[in-house]
Structure 1
Amino acid sequence: MRVSTIASTLALAASGVQAQYYANQSAPFYLVLSSQNETLNGTTLSSYHEGAAIESFGLGGPLSTASVEYTFNYSIQSWQDPPPTGVNLTGLLTWELRGGNFNLSSPMQLSYTPSSNVAVPLLEPSDDGTLVAFDDENKLTILSYQDDTKPLPNYAVTPTYNWYVCTTYVGYLYQTLAWVVGNAEPQNPTCQKVDVLRIFK
């Protein structure tokens, strides 16, 4: 009996912590690519169907009123340590899946394959997701908390910007946003370096 009570308490605590990221929501915004590749530069990201209630970030063309909107769900209590310079809050990058009689919050979650260093960000209905942040220039970042490139890993909170556009296959073959794990070059030869900018409506 005591074990189940403890388990229930932990589950409630975990759900409460996660729910904090949904306590505050930014105004809607667009995600626009910045790249040295003129074909990609200025392109908006759009939600591409990959499977049942699963979307990736595909290329949506120039910024317009028809561009796909996203939000940033966060909590003012989301920091456990002092934030790095230029980054204010961590939270969940979210898209709303709309159906005939439902609206479902779909936060971004990186999807990894053990044989590749290229992860694909996916949007799926969930209470969980990959924590991201926006810096002072409105660039999308994922924070690194440990530098393991040295014999003794150092704890340091550092914004990282490992965004690329690559040809990926999750449910369909698309050109999508991708994240390269670590500090190596992407092993997928189609990948091209980009930054992802938040532009409010």
Structure 2
Amino acid sequence: MKTATSTLILLLAATINAQFYNETSKPFNLVLTSENTTINGSTLSACHTGAALESLCLSKGGGVSNPNPITAATFNFNTSTNPFTPNATLGTPGILTWTLKTSSIDVPSSVYFNYDPTTDSAIPILTPGSERPQLLAFDDQDRLNVQGYIDWTANPPNGTGTTMGYYRWYACQTYFSGYAYENLAWGLGAGKPENPTCVSVGVKRVFV
């Protein structure tokens, strides 16, 4: 009974906002670009980090919880039927999705950013449904970005009216919910995160 109830909860969560983000792209892998030759070319996988939660770990392994290489994950990108595209070059905002396969059902999941107020980086986490997704976009070179229009360096900060793309991606050794992986992370602010393991990366979509 408990298993059936848990499965039903996952299924219900997966349907939230499904009708809004209902345009699904072709499947793709996410590939990292970096000046670090060990990381450059690495794909991303979905690594278990809690009940129906996955982090975006490096497929090559190297983390305490995943020392060995694993298979690259296949993702999709969902946008609205009537999308809002403030900057065509930067791409249409939408949500990064992945399907969690269980013994009884397939659970659509999407990425949100998990923030820890004691540090200056966030960890993208896949969770069932799309009730709290992080809006992302792929630019005209298939590079993953976050968009914004507020100039936080101005005094006082203000909305510029011009949408900018940000590419503050890092590969870092992280700790979340008891699991230690080398994960994709997002830098909070223009400077490099305080985590000494973080290496600057780009994230590129490669269709499969």
TM-score range, shorter chain: 0.7 to 0.9
Matching residue of 1:61: 60
Deviation of 1:96 (Å): 0.3
Aligned partners of 2:43 and 2:59 also within 8 Å = yes
Corresponding residue of 2:10: none
Tell me the CA shift for residue 191 of structure 1: 0.3
CA distance in 2 between partners of 1:97 and 1:19 (Å)? 15
Aligned to 2:9: none
Aligned residue for 1:92?
95
Is 1:115–2:118 an aligned residue pair?
A: yes
**Structure 2: how far apart are the matches of 1:73 and 1:52?**
23
- Residue 53 of structure 1: CA displacement? 0.5
For normalisation by structure 1, the TM-score amounts to 0.85
Alignment of 1:52-201 (within 5 A): 52-61=51-60, 66-79=71-84, 83-128=86-131, 129-155=133-159, 156-171=162-177, 172-201=179-208
How far 1:20 moved relative to its partner? 4.7
* CA 159–55 in structure 1, closer or farther in 2 if over 3 Å, else same: same
> Quick one: which amino acid aligns to residue 161 of structure 1?
Y
Write the distance in 1 (CA, Å) between the matches of 2:142 and 2:87: 15
1:153 Cα shift? 2.2
Which is strand-richer, 1 or 2?
1
Distance change in 2, residues 1:30/1:21 (3 Å): farther
Aligned equivalents of 1:20, 1:102: Cα separation in 2: 19
- Contact residue 20 and residue 74 of structure 1 kept, 8 A: no
* Whole-angstrom distance in 2 between the partners of 1:127 and 1:32: 23
- Identity among equivalent positions (%) equals 40
Letter in 1 for 2:150: Q
**2: CA distance between counterparts of 1:21 and 1:187?**
37
Partner of 2:21: 22
Q: How many residues align?
A: 181
Pairwise CA RMSD? 1.8
Q: Which residue type is aligned with residue 41 of structure 1?
A: N
Structure 1 residue matching 2:119: 3-state secondary structure: coil
What amino acid does structure 1 have at the position aligned with 2:207? Answer: F
